[in-house]
Structure 1
Amino acid sequence: MDRRDLYGYRDQRPDPKWPGDASVAINLVVNVEEGAELSLADGDPSNEPMHEVTSKVVSQPDLCRESHFEFGSRLGYWRVMRELDEADVKVTLNVCGRAAQRTPELLQDAVGRGHDLCAHGWLWQSPAGMSPEEEEAMMRRTLDAIEAATGQRPTGWHCKSTPTLHTRALAAKLGLLYDSDAYNDELPFWLEGEQGPMLVLPYQFDTNDMRFFGESPAFVQAKDFSDYVIETVQRLLDEGERWQSKSMLTIGLHLRIVGRPGRINALRDILRFIKSDPRIWIATRTEIAHHWRKQLL
């Protein structure tokens, strides 16, 4: 049997019965990766090459790249949190284990504000190539570090980029509520596995501030990002009205990216828009996972 499902729900998409009869469930994910980027100084095999520009320093620690990531925890975090507080919106934090170990006070602050936790790998690195044993040990280390820093254990798993063939089964084995290593749908779905059915909450890369980066960035000014996200949400709301097709959308954020003064207004404008429409349910990933399990198990 082909392990890939190229059909999904077809034209029989289920009604998720979002709270308030909302058409769209929106989850904002704030990625916390500062201190977990690859670094020769930390004994990693290489330096992380990607920041505001792509560079490759191989003979020593990359102090420019280190400084770039530090902006996220020193300044970007507080700028993002002020916007979220003002809008009264709770988000999910995708947290790397080494970042939790290095900046526990930041995560304690975020949890104190009511935000949600998802594990994002020990390092900001794909687990591709790891054996099942290596990956399970890495996942346990990550979960333990985040729990030690915050007093709360993450409810879900989402690695950087490509997971392994074992990632989802390991997430189920470790008792996690959901896995987000999928980019193939706009509604949660169930997958059968060795540990029983596993809930998958898909993620999106197009509605993500990472698109400010790259050799040919899609977003340059703040309004490029907010306009794209708002147009996406408007289309999903329109589909809900015209065809009763309901959906889930993830908006991906990074402290070191959207936290810059020239970009933060994108987050402000997105929050104002999604807060203004009663057809939108703004929720954490944990809330969405619990709702789906209750309605569509």
Structure 2
Amino acid sequence: MPTVSEQQRDLVGYGASPPRAAWPGGARVAVSLVLNYEEGGERNVLEGDPASEGFLHELVGAPPVVGGRELNVESMFAYGSRAGFWRIHRTLLAHGAPLTVYAVGQALARNPEAAKAMGAAGWEVASHGWRWIDYRHVPEEVERADMARSIATIEQLVGRRPVGWYTGRTSPRTRRLVVEEGGFLYDSDDYSDDLPFYVGTDEGQPHLVVPYTLDANDFKFLIVHGFTTADDMLTYLVDTYDTLHAEGADRPRMMSVGMHCRIIGRPGRIRALDGFLEHVARRGGAWIATREQIARHWLAAHPPETP
């Protein structure tokens, strides 16, 4: 088992015989819906950043403005918190579907009403860092302080500290810092499997990884040759679920769906989420769960081996 400090690549995983997940109710697929809440934590010269945000907005391919503001991009991010979040909120409540929020601490602090709505809905709010930035070149002491600040902010605004972590653009130290913090059940900074798995730590205590996805993810609306219409994403989600559902007859699987307030929260895209939830309900065989629920189930059903 690779350790956190070694950052070794595991290209074998579970191999031909993955464990039987034993999801509740005999479900074939554990479905994890994830909403990235980032609006207000992105790069901006008002925050002391050297340039405006250049990633995941509607002006695909437009370079960041160095040393200045890009007001169009700022307003596109604001749409996510002002309107997109609430459209997604209404859709999920209508379906009674649980959700995990990857919340950027600074973004959540700038919209306490959204944070309150997340808590009232019973959603899991995991930490997505303090800022929505690339942490590869951030000093370790800054990354550690940002982690603590994000935890405290989520706990204050939602009423419960986060037990899940996802940075997205990690540093080589991120997982070690998550483990050292001591309060996390899992992290999701990995895309390498259809089931949770353990990695070793320097302290000898296995750490749980609940893998995420960048393929069944609405960010593909904002990349070249990605999704264009809601039907594109809906078709991909349905195909993914149906394949995992078929495989799950023998060995159940997990499916993640990644979303962003400013992306799928647009009126022309929300049908992808609504249609997918309708399909899953018709097809059956799903356990729609938060990532915390999946992590707690895995820890109980498949406890780590003692070194």
- Scaled by the length of structure 1, what TM-score is found? 0.95
Residues 1:198 and 2:207 are matched in the alignment: yes
Whole-angstrom CA distance in 2 between matches of 1:170 and 1:223: 40
Equivalent residue number for residue 257 of structure 1: 263
Residue 168 of structure 1: which of 163, 175, 184 is its match?
175
Alpha carbons 1:87, 1:275 under 8 Å: kept: no
Alpha carbons 2:105, 2:130 under 8 Å: kept: yes
SS in 2 for 1:220: coil
Counterpart mapping for 1:137-216 below 5 A: 137-161=145-169, 163-174=170-181, 175-195=183-203, 196-214=205-223, 216=224
Alpha carbons 1:31, 1:253 under 8 Å: kept: yes
Contiguous gaps of at least 5 residues in structure 1: none
SS in 2 for 1:224: helix
Q: Which moved more, 1:60-69 or 1:125-134?
A: 125-134
Equivalent residue number for residue 17 of structure 2: 12
Runs of 4+ in 1 over 4 A off after TM superposition: none
Counterpart mapping for 1:119-138 below 5 A: 119-138=127-146
Equivalent residue number for residue 79 of structure 1: 87
Equivalent residue number for residue 37 of structure 2: 32
Equivalent residue number for residue 53 of structure 2: 48
SS in 1 for 2:79: helix
SS in 1 for 2:144: helix
Whole-angstrom CA distance in 2 between matches of 1:253 and 1:177: 22
Whole-angstrom CA distance in 2 between matches of 1:44 and 1:197: 37
Q: Displacement of 1:164 after TM fit?
A: 2.2
Counterpart mapping for 1:59-138 below 5 A: 59-138=67-146
Q: Displacement of 1:131 after TM fit?
A: 3.5
Alpha carbons 2:21, 2:251 under 8 Å: kept: no
Residues 1:231 and 2:236 are matched in the alignment: no
Q: Deviations over 1:118-165 (max 9, x none)?
A: 10011111211233323211111111121122221111110023x222
SS in 2 for 1:227: helix
Aligned residues: 293
Alpha carbons 1:222, 1:265 under 8 Å: kept: yes
Aligned letter for 2:19? P
Residue 282 of structure 1: which of 284, 288, 292 is its match?
288
Q: Deviations over 1:240-284 (max 9, x none)?
A: 23xx12211110010100011111111110111122233111000
Distance 1:282 1:212, change over 3 A: same
Q: Give me the CA root mean square deviation.
A: 1.3
Q: Deviations over 1:25-60 (max 9, x none)?
A: 010001100100100022223211131013221242
Q: Displacement of 1:87 after TM fit?
A: 0.6
Whole-angstrom CA distance in 1 between matches of 2:139 and 2:77: 29
Contiguous gaps of at least 5 residues in structure 2: none
Whole-angstrom CA distance in 2 between matches of 1:256 and 1:233: 24
Whole-angstrom CA distance in 1 between matches of 2:71 and 2:138: 28
